[in-house]
Amino acid sequence: GPGGRSYAFIIDFHIRVLFAVGWAFGFSLWLRVYTDAGDEPPLPLLLAAFVPPIAIYLLYHPVLELVMAGRTPGKRMAGIRIVTQDGIVPS
């Protein structure tokens, strides 16, 4: 029901945010060390700081549901998964 799906979404939301913020924070610390105090970082480095967190956030559900047979970590903890009406994993 909606309770289990909401619980799974909250868990998955927190995982996505932790990975995305962790990447952005870690990369920004590395970027600060890599560049001198007055230098502007080049555009590719700035993109490398912000594109992966966006990709993590947007592709989390589709990729994990394909790789983990219809279950994300949140769905696994909530005990739900995506299946077809026949009860098999969708293709």
| Percentage above 70 pLDDT, the chain | 97
Residues 6+ apart with CB under 8 A from 7: 74, 77, 78
Under 8 Å between Cβ of 62 and 56: no
Task: Say how far apart CA 4 and CA 10 lie, in whole Å.
Answer: 10
The mean per-residue pLDDT over the stretch 37-61 comes to 81
**The pLDDT value given to residue 10:** 94
